[in-house]
């Protein structure tokens, strides 16, 4: 994913309103400066001499077409970016998501924009509402997201096994009121990466919803 320290016209991208440019760079594998220059030089995209980086959906999609990036519009219910990432985004798939006033790329629990790639719980735009979603069919290989997704720490059995050990530890030591519970809980969560914690919280939310449905 594009790092926030990269530059466009000599200025850090994290200080510029170039979220659409960065989304395009992330799915094409090009540098932010390359993508910015492509928009600037291309006709029919509304990026004139005074253009600073803001993009419309139409301009962004036209550039994806010109760069031969296949995309498909996805309809989703009204939801926040966090809910989309947790409930609707398929593992191993890449999406460009337009939220209120912003574009991000979503992949394997990571949210990427000009501030870098972060787990959903650390993304500043996680509470913004999703406006439109496009699934990217042939994104450039995202080494950072791919390595995170492929690492043993991200595999479900690892998280599940850790959870089983944690619950067994709590049961063995005496339940909720035992003084060792807090320490065990801290140790368990400390062993997890931010992405693992997000996954564990998603699983627990699913279980709560399932339990509520069974009680009705």
CB 124 within 8 A of CB 115: yes
Residue with tokens 């993009």: 55
> What was the pLDDT predicted at 169?
59
8 A C-beta contact, residue 38 and residue 63: yes
Token output for 19: 């979220």
Question: How much is the pLDDT for 125?
Answer: 96
Q: Report the candidate in 45, 131, 54, 51 with the shortest Cα–Cα distance to residue 96.
A: 131
Structure tokens at 28: 């094409």
- CA atoms of 79 and 131, how far apart (whole Å): 9
Phi, psi of 120 (to 5 degrees): -55, -40
- The domain segmentation of the chain, as residue ranges, is 7-141, 151-215
Can you give the length of the chain in residues? 216
Fold of 7-141: Cathepsin B; Chain A (3.90.70)
DSSP state at residue 2 = -
Would you give per-residue pLDDT tens digits along the chain (216 residues)?
899 999 999 999 999 999 999 999 999 999 999 999 999 998 888 888 889 999 999 999 999 999 999 999 999 999 999 999 999 999 999 999 999 999 999 999 999 999 999 999 999 999 999 999 999 999 985 444 455 455 554 444 344 455 555 556 555 555 544 455 555 555 666 666 666 666 777 677 677 667 666 765
How is 70-130 classified by DSSP, letter by letter? -EEEE---S-BHHHIIIIISPTT-EEEEEETTEEEEEETTEEEETTEEEEGGG-TTTTSBE
d(CA 31, CA 39): 13
Nearest to 20 by CA among 46, 53, 47, 52: 53
* 133 and 95 Cβ atoms separated by less than 8 Å: yes
Q: How far is CA 152 from the centre of its chain?
A: 19
Query: Which pTM does this prediction carry?
Result: 0.66
Pairing state of beta strands 110-113 and 116-119? antiparallel
Mapping DSSP to helix (H, G, I), strand (E, B) and coil, where does residue 182 land? helix
CA angle 202, 204, 210 (to 5 degrees): 105
pLDDT in the model for residue 46: 81
């Amino acid at each position: 994913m594009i790092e926030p320290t990269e530059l466009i016209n000599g200025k850090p991208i994290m200080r510029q309103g170039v979220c659409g440019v960065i989304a395009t760079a992330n799915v094409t594998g090009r540098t932010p400066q390359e993508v910015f220059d492509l928009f600037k030089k291309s006709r029919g995209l509304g990026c004139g001499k005074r253009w600073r980086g803001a993009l419309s959906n139409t301009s962004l999609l036209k550039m994806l077409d010109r760069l031969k990036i296949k995309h498909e519009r996805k309809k989703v219910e009204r939801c926040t970016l966090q809910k989309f990432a947790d409930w609707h985004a398929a593992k191993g798939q890449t999406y460009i998501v337009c939220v209120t006033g912003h574009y991000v790329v979503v992949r394997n629990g990571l949210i990427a924009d000009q501030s870098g790639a972060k787990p959903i719980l650390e993304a500043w735009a996680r509470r913004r509402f999703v406006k439109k979603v496009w699934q990217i069919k042939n994104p450039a290989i995202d080494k950072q997201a791919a390595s995170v997704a492929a690492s043993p720490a991200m595999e479900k059995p690892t998280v599940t096994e850790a959870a089983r050990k944690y619950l067994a530890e709590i049961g063995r030591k005496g339940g909720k009121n035992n003084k060792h519970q807090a320490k065990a809980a801290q140790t368990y969560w400390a062993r997890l990466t931010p992405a693992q914690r997000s996954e564990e919280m998603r699983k627990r939310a699913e279980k709560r919803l399932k339990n509520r449905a069974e009680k009705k």
